[in-house]
């Protein structure tokens, strides 16, 4: 721009340097934000890939461990000490066994648990108290549980049917046995136990599978307590189990056989249905299912039901991991008695 003052021409120049500097700074800030977003996205993607790989490795290890368990269970005989032969038993009392690739596998005989679909009122009532229920509430909780699984409109004295459920804003009872343990939260009145029940890991002591028989040799601590075993006796039983002994259980059964103590006067053989739990280090969840061993007449060698992933915090993890029984340590006589497993194809 030119301006003339008193015969002189003065040239004025507008400076654009301030605007250019601001634009460059904004550009650099935008590039920095973009780079941070790309870096964060890559980090999230890397973490997801790592988790997917961890899950794939875990599932592969779980399958390998399950295959080893299935082979042992389907080729050995059930005894009071577990599945196997003298000195080499696979215990089914929930202890941890070393699985493939640092994983752990637990096998729990369902006869060592209390059956929600075949409840023995006095026993389940004691468990309810240990899981947070007041003694005055147990009759109503038991009546509601039995009413829930029973078809029809008639209800027990303290039970509940469609009217009580609708007033509480709950779905109507199914009128059929529970399909899974967490279904108890649909039973009238049970929901208020949820926090203490979960905090005390009470799902570890109940099942909806198997028969009504009880096996004290594989029972959990709270289940033994429900049968009247003292805390001192429970501690002794757990110590004896760790070394393959059952002195206290034998003494209790013999001294109380006339009263049908523990409901198992004729032995301690495990059921053909087991609750299997797989876990692995650094995993925040465990994989669980019910495994039913079938006979030759039934065609298929086994049946797996209700597979599910559950949070690690909701289960009781074993203190250690036992080594898997070794078939090489079985006597030649017992080896000859091993039956070949039924192949699934």
In this prediction, residue 76 carries a pLDDT of 85
Q: pLDDT tens-digit profile of 145-178?
A: 999 999 999 999 999 999 999 999 999 999 999 9
What is the rounded CA–CA span in Å between residue 6 and residue 12? Answer: 16
Q: Record the pTM.
A: 0.81
Among candidate residues 217, 216, 234, the one with its CA nearest the CA of residue 225: 234
In this prediction, residue 344 carries a pLDDT of 39
What is the rounded CA–CA span in Å between residue 116 and residue 209? Answer: 8
In this prediction, residue 262 carries a pLDDT of 45
Phi and psi torsions of 176, nearest 5° = -155, 160
In this prediction, residue 39 carries a pLDDT of 77
In this prediction, residue 183 carries a pLDDT of 96
236: exposed, middle or buried (Cβ count in 10 Å: 0-12, 13-18, 19+): middle
In this prediction, residue 340 carries a pLDDT of 46
- The three-state DSSP-derived secondary structure of the chain is CEEEECCEEEECCCCCHHHHHHHHHHHHHHHHHHHHHHHHHHHHHHHHHHHHHHHHHHHHHHHHHHHHHHHHHHHCCEECCEEEECCEEECCEEEEEECHHHEEEEEEEHHHCEECCCCCHHHHHHHHHHCCCCHHHHHHHHHHHHHHHCCCCCCCCCCCCHHHHHHCCCCCCCCCCCCCHHHHHHCCCCHHHHHHHHHCCHHHHEECCCCCCCCCCCCCHHHHHHCCCCHHHHHHHHHHHHCCCCHHHHHHHHHCHHHCHHHCCCCCCCCCEEEEEEEECCCCEEEEEEEEECCHHHCCCEEEEEEEEEEHHHCCCCCCCECCCCHHHCCHHHHHHCCCCCCCC
The number of beta carbons lying within 10 Å of the beta carbon of residue 30 is: 10
Among candidate residues 145, 143, 163, the one with its CA nearest the CA of residue 153: 163
Beta bridge partners of 4: 9
The domain limits of the chain are: 82-131+200-345, 132-197
In this prediction, residue 47 carries a pLDDT of 72
What is the rounded CA–CA span in Å between residue 42 and residue 47? Answer: 9
What is the rounded CA–CA span in Å between residue 185 and residue 182? Answer: 6
What is the rounded CA–CA span in Å between residue 150 and residue 255? Answer: 37
Which residues in the chain come in under a pLDDT of 50? 261-265, 339-345
């Amino acid at each position: 721009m030119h301006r003339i003052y008193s015969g002189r021409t003065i040239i004025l120049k507008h400076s654009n340097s301030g605007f250019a500097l601001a634009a460059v700074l904004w550009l650099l800030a935008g590039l920095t934000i973009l780079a941070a977003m790309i870096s964060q996205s890559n980090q999230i993607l890397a973490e997801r890939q790592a988790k997917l790989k961890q899950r794939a490795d875990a599932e592969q290890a779980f399958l390998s461990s399950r295959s080893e368990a299935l082979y042992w269970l389907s080729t050995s005989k059930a005894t009071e000490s577990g599945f196997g032969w003298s000195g080499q038993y696979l215990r089914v009392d929930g202890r941890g066994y070393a699985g493939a690739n640092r994983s752990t596998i637990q096998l729990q005989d369902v006869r060592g648990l209390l059956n929600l679909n075949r409840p023995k009122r006095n026993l389940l009532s004691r468990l309810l108290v240990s899981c947070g229920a007041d003694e005055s509430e147990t009759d109503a909780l038991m009546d509601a549980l039995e009413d829930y699984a029973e078809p029809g409109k008639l209800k027990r004295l303290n039970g509940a049917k469609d009217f009580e459920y609708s007033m509480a804003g709950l779905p109507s009872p199914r009128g059929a046995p529970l399909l899974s343990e967490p279904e108890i939260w649909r039973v009238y009145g049970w929901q208020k136990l949820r926090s203490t029940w979960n905090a005390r890991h009470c799902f570890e002591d109940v099942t909806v599978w198997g028969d009504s028989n009880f096996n004290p040799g594989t029972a959990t601590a709270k289940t033994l307590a429900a049968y009247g075993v003292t805390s001192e006796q429970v501690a002794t039983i757990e110590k004896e189990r760790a070394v393959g002994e059952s002195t206290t259980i034998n003494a209790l059964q013999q001294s109380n056989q006339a009263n049908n103590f523990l409901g198992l006067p004729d032995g301690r053989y495990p059921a053909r249905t087991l609750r299997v739990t797989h876990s692995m280090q650094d995993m925040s969840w465990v994989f669980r299912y019910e495994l039913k061993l079938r006979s030759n007449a039934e065609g298929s060698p086994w049946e797996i039901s209700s597979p599910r992933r559950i949070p690690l915090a909701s289960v009781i993890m074993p203190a250690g991991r036992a080594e898997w029984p070794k078939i090489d340590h079985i006597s030649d006589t017992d080896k000859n008695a091993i039956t070949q497993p039924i192949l699934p194809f």
